[in-house]
A and B are shown apart, each in its own frame.
Chain A
């Protein structure tokens, strides 16, 4: 049972490049979340999904897009990367809203 798996673990991009971060969960969870973590700021929610085919904006959605075509996968896209998007990105999932979230180990993204 792998839990929440994030791909890739590390990536370096140049300004203006695009990329997609993949999150996969094998727990049949309905809710999935993308966060970014910056020093001293805790976790900030980028986008989230309450079920297959749904997405919603979080606290800091600008510059990011998401898709949830399959229940087990939640993709985070950067269309035109900017240095301000250098961060550690975490994906999380949970079955119901009154339950804890399960986190992946993060993707460390540097944009030069």
Chain B
């Protein structure tokens, strides 16, 4: 079963706007990761946030983690057409070798 669940399933925004998507999970984690998938390609790692971190930045990306609510958010600021993709959260559970992926959020950035 999938550990992470993203919300919303789909998001359409204008170029230059910010995009926010959320991820909820069920069990204790070591870290939470966000990935991007462009159409027809494999997943690309964006950012990893550890369970003892609350916020992390990478370029135009900002990730927050609230372990008490078992949730995370990914914010993309000043979106571009090239940000059009599907975004997945994945959880690294305690004492596990595997990542558990959510179903993803499909983001469309309109020019």
Contact = CB atoms under 8 A, between A and B. Distances in A.
Binding between chains A and B: yes
Interface of A: 4, 31, 33, 35, 40-45, 48, 50, 56, 58-59, 90, 92, 97-106
A48 B42 contact: no
B1 interface: yes
Contacts of A44: 2
Q: Which 8 residue pairs are nearest across A and B when measured between Cβ atoms? A: A103-B42, A100-B45, A42-B103, A43-B101, A103-B43, A105-B42, A42-B101, A104-B42
Interface residues of B, number: 26
Contacts of A103: 35, 42-44
A48 B98 contact: yes
Interface of B: 1-2, 30-31, 33, 35, 40-45, 48, 50, 88, 90, 92, 96-104
Contacts, number: 58
Contacts of B92: 97-98
A5 to B, nearest CB: 11
